[in-house]
Chain A
Amino acid sequence: MKLKLKIWRQKNQASKGTFETYDVVANEHMSFLEMLDVLNEDLISQKKEPVVFEHDCREGICGTCSMVINGHPHGPNGGTTACQLHMRFFKDGDIITVEPFRASAFPVYKDLAVDRSAFDRIIQAGGYISVNTGQAVDANSVPVEQNVAEAAFDAAACIGCGACVAACPNSSAMLFTSAKVAHLSLLPQGQVEENQRVLNMVNQMDAEGFGRCSNVTACEAECPKEISVANIAMLNRKYFKASLASEKKVQ
């Protein structure tokens, strides 16, 4: 199939970017990134600079790939990362727009690559359980109900890709942050530090310049791991509770 690609090109953080148009011949068995590989090989053979895009596992788990395809972070298919999107979902003659995730907290480094280190800092603010190596009790000493463990897993499945932020008109990081809070809060091991964790993570999120959540729920729709907005509701409740608790302490 013959395709026209309109791709965002931007030399570095300081420069202004622009869309460039390229022709590429693909086939339906390729993944979207393999199609971009073909384009890049072609550009290199003409001694031109290839399109920079980030990727690693190419199987939807590392969260590295990050691009907006035809207006959708990770492309139009639900529950799918860009690297898992296959060309059989496109047809001959299609014009495809590819641009980076856009959010002020995710500045563009080059072409489609952005800086998502803000997510690391949100985790560093409290997305952990404070247990040193060797301090743990026997794993089976605290049974966890199967459905609770499953629910914690559902939230823990977040790959930290940032599509939720790119999808949100406010560039809010609530889905990402709430997924981590929910994962840890659901488990008995994580409940001890819950209040402090919630406050610290939300404060960090605000400090990074992510916007407020106004319940648009575009994040859930675009999340490749189908993380539920119910986590956001849970975060809000926990945040409220934790704020009250910390006020009490101050009094």
Chain B
Amino acid sequence: MKYDGKVPSGPLAEKWKNYRGTMPLVAPNNKRRLDIIVVGTGLAGASAASTLGELGYNVKCFTFHDSPRRAHSIAAQGGINAAKNYQNDGDSVYRLFYDTIKGGDYRSREANVYRLAEVSTSIIDQAVAQGVPFAREYGGLLANRSFGGVQVSRTFYARGQTGQQLLLGAYASLSRQITLGSVQMHNRHEMMDLVIEDGKARGIIARNLLTGELERHAAHCVILATGGYGNVFYLSTNAMMSNTSAAWRAVRRGALMANPCFTQIHPTCIPVSGDYQSKLTLMSESLRNDGRVWVPKKMEDVEALRAGKIKGVDIAEEDRDYYLERRYPAFGNLVPRDVASRAAKQVCDEGRGVNVAGLAVFLDFEDAFERYGKSEANAHGDHNPSREKVLELGRKVVEKKYGNLFEMYEKITGQNPYFTPMMIYPAVHYTMGGLWVDYNLETNIPGLFSLGESNFSDHGANRLGASALMQGLADGYFVIPYTVGTFLSKEIRTPKIDPNGAAFKATEKAVADRIGQLLGVNGTQSVESFHRRLGKIMWDYCGMSRSAEGLNKARKMVQDLRAEFYKDVFIPGSADEYNPELEKAHRVADFIELGELMIVDALDRNESCGGHFREEYQTEDGEALRRDDEYTYVSAWEWPNPDAGDPTLHKEELVFENVELKTRSYK
């Protein structure tokens, strides 16, 4: 079966406007009668729940966190894109659209991406009105910086805490709706399953995480804004609790998972330091505005570095290989993430990694200190400053831009990056794959919508920096409030959904049974140990580079791990109490199944595109070899029961009417 993206007809730039103007609406008196469940309070969920509440719907919102403000979005650092063209540097809606399509390696849907670019400007207006303290110029206007894969400055930022400030804005709006009574908030409640009645999504089973009680919640439709699944790799930059279970449970009920193998490995993260490591820390991409990436040219320097005999600063300029500037002169250090990560892996594979494990490259700010220092000195009328003075002034400017990141680096590594170059290495960061949705952000299950990182919709095979915050807020503030009407306008005569219906009871029982099954194993190995092993398999075989041989091997390993999990996992405590180990077990069980599907997807895609690099498909100089003739489609996988056979692939062919498919070049 082919899946229809329901893209409206008409010229690209008119689609959303015309569609919005002609789509069915729900009258205010009817909105009051309609219930909506929103799961998640990250940027996507909080913005959706508050806006739907403002419109007059009855919203029930869920998060497993103790407060909506703790969602993983809080950790986003570098910024948010918008086609405001405040810098007058040639930006436009079309350019943001084009950059995003190209950055995604031509594996996303044109119409969705265009709409994203179109509404991006309203997001900034909305955030400023909520009191988000974006960075400003001396004149009081908003400041911008650049991110990878683009040649304009369109990224708005709030120091290195843009996600925090945007989420606090959305959380404030949500809090206001909670006070006004239009949103009923359920903190510390985890969605355990999706309830489908007569083929439509009508509710969820949630577990009260403090008491362990299962609850049935009903609504006319369900919106999942539950974030990404990067933690399938165990080590990632995601928050520890981020997981796939809400989306995966929807897949188990018939939803399709799209492009699951499209994972973003971020080039600039603090390298792994030991086996006990629980997570990895991102150093924002914004640093590549000013930092230069390099490794030594000579092996003897590499060896001396590893032996601790010399430091990065001791290596002479001519003995450094600024490999990104060398290979990609047009974009230099600001190539997209997938390209930068792969290049780092290549130099480390060549043996030129700069830490003891050989898995790190330098990110060096010396040039930036000098450049900024000189202009500061000039600005203060000092035209002949000493080098030391210049560096000192420059460090101050850099501190203003990235102070919290430098501080975070020092806290973790114990090294001061103002005086020694940072060491960085790629790490899992974001998942472009997610629940398949159409133009309305509705999954193939009627009444089930998915927003933010939990859907697959806008980033193709690689996401550009500062575009996830944009997408989450676009989906929540400006898309779903309209498109949910396409479903709900047909439901105005549907009475309140009864949470005591047969489907609810059966689903609740299935959840209770699964919890019983997990606790009943009573084996010997911790949940954590399974998660770690899964992560290692995924990183080794389905990470930065993949091959058919490795993937086949990995699939078997994951299947074996799954069998072992259900034979030997040990979960302390019981089901009727606050039990974080039980929560984790449920999530890891789902990660294992998703992991297998990612491998299957990576095997199916016999090409290299974006973050998906298949070793068999590369050009002579090691660049990705995309195969548009065969793979210009979205892979939408159906896999309601992993015990009953292989997943089924549905293809949504991607049609490009407005851009010409080109080999991505950043040279």
Residues of A with Cβ closer than 8 Å to B?
Answer: 12, 27, 29-31, 33-34, 37-38, 41, 43-45, 47-50, 52, 54-64, 80, 84, 86, 88, 109-110, 113, 115-117, 119-120, 123-125, 127-140, 142-146, 149-150, 152-153, 156-157, 159-160, 183-184, 187, 189-190
Asked, given contacts A49-B573, A61-B161, whether A190 binds B70 with beta carbons under 8 Å apart, the answer is: no
A117, B51: Cα distance in complex, Å: 23
Fill in one digit per residue for B169-189: 1 if any A CB lies within 8 Å of its CB, else 0: 001110110110000010100
Q: Nearest residue in B to A138 (C-beta to C-beta)?
A: B125
Task: State which size class the interface on B falls in.
Answer: 35 or more
Q: Nearest residue in A to B578 (C-beta to C-beta)?
A: A110
In angstroms, how far is the closest chain B Cβ from the Cβ of A44?
A: 5
Taking CB atoms, residues of chain A closer than 8 Å to B168 are 156
Is B572 a contact of A133 with CB atoms below 8 Å?
no
Is A124 a contact of B278 with CB atoms below 8 Å?
no
Residues of B with Cβ closer than 8 Å to A?
Answer: 47, 50-51, 54, 65-70, 72, 74-75, 84, 86, 122, 124-131, 133-142, 158-159, 161, 164-165, 168, 171-173, 175-176, 178-179, 185, 187, 210, 239-241, 273-274, 276-279, 281, 408, 411-412, 414, 477-478, 481, 526, 528-529, 570, 572-573, 577-578, 580-581
Is B50 a contact of A143 with CB atoms below 8 Å?
no
Taking CB atoms, residues of chain A closer than 8 Å to B165 are 153, 156
Is B141 a contact of A160 with CB atoms below 8 Å?
no
Is B65 a contact of A56 with CB atoms below 8 Å?
yes
Other A-B contacts than A115-B66, A132-B51, 18 sampled, CB-CB below 8 A, are: A33-B278, A34-B276, A41-B528, A44-B581, A47-B570, A58-B279, A58-B281, A61-B164, A63-B69, A116-B66, A124-B175, A127-B172, A129-B130, A129-B131, A136-B125, A136-B128, A149-B133, A160-B67
Give me the 7 closest cross-chain CB pairs, A-B, nearest first.
A143-B140, A128-B172, A136-B129, A136-B125, A153-B133, A139-B128, A133-B51
Contact partner, A86, options B50, B84, B140, B412, Cβ 8 Å: B412
Is A37 a contact of B276 with CB atoms below 8 Å?
yes
Taking CB atoms, residues of chain A closer than 8 Å to B273 are 29
In angstroms, how far is the closest chain B Cβ from the Cβ of A112?
A: 11
Is B67 a contact of A37 with CB atoms below 8 Å?
no
Supply 5 A–B pairs (Cβ within 8 Å), ascending by A.
Answer: A37-B276, A38-B276, A59-B281, A133-B481, A140-B142
Is B276 a contact of A30 with CB atoms below 8 Å?
yes
Is A131 a contact of B133 with CB atoms below 8 Å?
no
Is B133 a contact of A183 with CB atoms below 8 Å?
yes
A173, B142: Cα distance in complex, Å: 33
Contact partner, A120, options B67, B124, B141, B481, Cβ 8 Å: B67
Taking CB atoms, residues of chain B closer than 8 Å to A120 are 67-69, 175, 185, 187
Taking CB atoms, residues of chain B closer than 8 Å to A49 are 572-573
Q: Nearest residue in B to A111 (C-beta to C-beta)?
A: B578
Is A55 a contact of B240 with CB atoms below 8 Å?
yes
In angstroms, how far is the closest chain A Cβ from the Cβ of B181?
A: 11
Is B67 a contact of A60 with CB atoms below 8 Å?
no
Contact partner, A123, options B130, B175, B274, B276, Cβ 8 Å: B175
Is A156 a contact of B126 with CB atoms below 8 Å?
no
Taking CB atoms, residues of chain A closer than 8 Å to B577 are 12, 110
Taking CB atoms, residues of chain A closer than 8 Å to B572 are 43-44, 47-50
Is B173 a contact of A119 with CB atoms below 8 Å?
no
In angstroms, how far is the closest chain A Cβ from the Cβ of B538?
A: 20
Is B173 a contact of A128 with CB atoms below 8 Å?
yes
Asked, given contacts A80-B411, A117-B187, A153-B159, whether A130 binds B176 with beta carbons under 8 Å apart, the answer is: yes
Q: Which of B133, B137, B141, B411 has the most CB of A within 10 A?
A: B133
Taking CB atoms, residues of chain A closer than 8 Å to B408 are 59-60, 84
Q: Nearest residue in B to A186 (C-beta to C-beta)?
A: B133
Is A117 a contact of B66 with CB atoms below 8 Å?
yes
A52, B412: Cα distance in complex, Å: 24
Is A129 a contact of B133 with CB atoms below 8 Å?
no
Is A59 a contact of B75 with CB atoms below 8 Å?
yes
Asked, given contacts A86-B412, A183-B131, whether A128 binds B175 with beta carbons under 8 Å apart, the answer is: yes
Is A134 a contact of B122 with CB atoms below 8 Å?
yes
Q: Nearest residue in B to A11 (C-beta to C-beta)?
A: B577
Contact partner, A62, options B84, B239, B529, Cβ 8 Å: B239
Taking CB atoms, residues of chain A closer than 8 Å to B580 are 50, 52
Q: Nearest residue in B to A115 (C-beta to C-beta)?
A: B66
Taking CB atoms, residues of chain B closer than 8 Å to A117 are 66-67, 187
Is A133 a contact of B478 with CB atoms below 8 Å?
yes
Is A86 a contact of B414 with CB atoms below 8 Å?
yes
Is A37 a contact of B129 with CB atoms below 8 Å?
no
Is A189 a contact of B129 with CB atoms below 8 Å?
yes
In angstroms, how far is the closest chain A Cβ from the Cβ of B256?
A: 29
Is B173 a contact of A133 with CB atoms below 8 Å?
yes
Is A144 a contact of B239 with CB atoms below 8 Å?
no
A34, B411: Cα distance in complex, Å: 15
In angstroms, how far is the closest chain A Cβ from the Cβ of B239?
A: 4
Taking CB atoms, residues of chain B closer than 8 Å to A159 are 164
Asked, given contacts A129-B172, A149-B135, whether A57 binds B239 with beta carbons under 8 Å apart, the answer is: yes
Is A57 a contact of B129 with CB atoms below 8 Å?
no
Contact partner, A146, options B124, B136, B185, Cβ 8 Å: B136
A30, B412: Cα distance in complex, Å: 9
Is B240 a contact of A56 with CB atoms below 8 Å?
yes
Taking CB atoms, residues of chain B closer than 8 Å to A127 are 172, 175
Q: Which of B72, B126, B129 has the most CB of A within 10 A?
A: B129
In angstroms, how far is the closest chain A Cβ from the Cβ of B284?
A: 11
Q: Nearest residue in A to B64 (C-beta to C-beta)?
A: A56
Contact partner, A56, options B72, B141, B187, Cβ 8 Å: B72
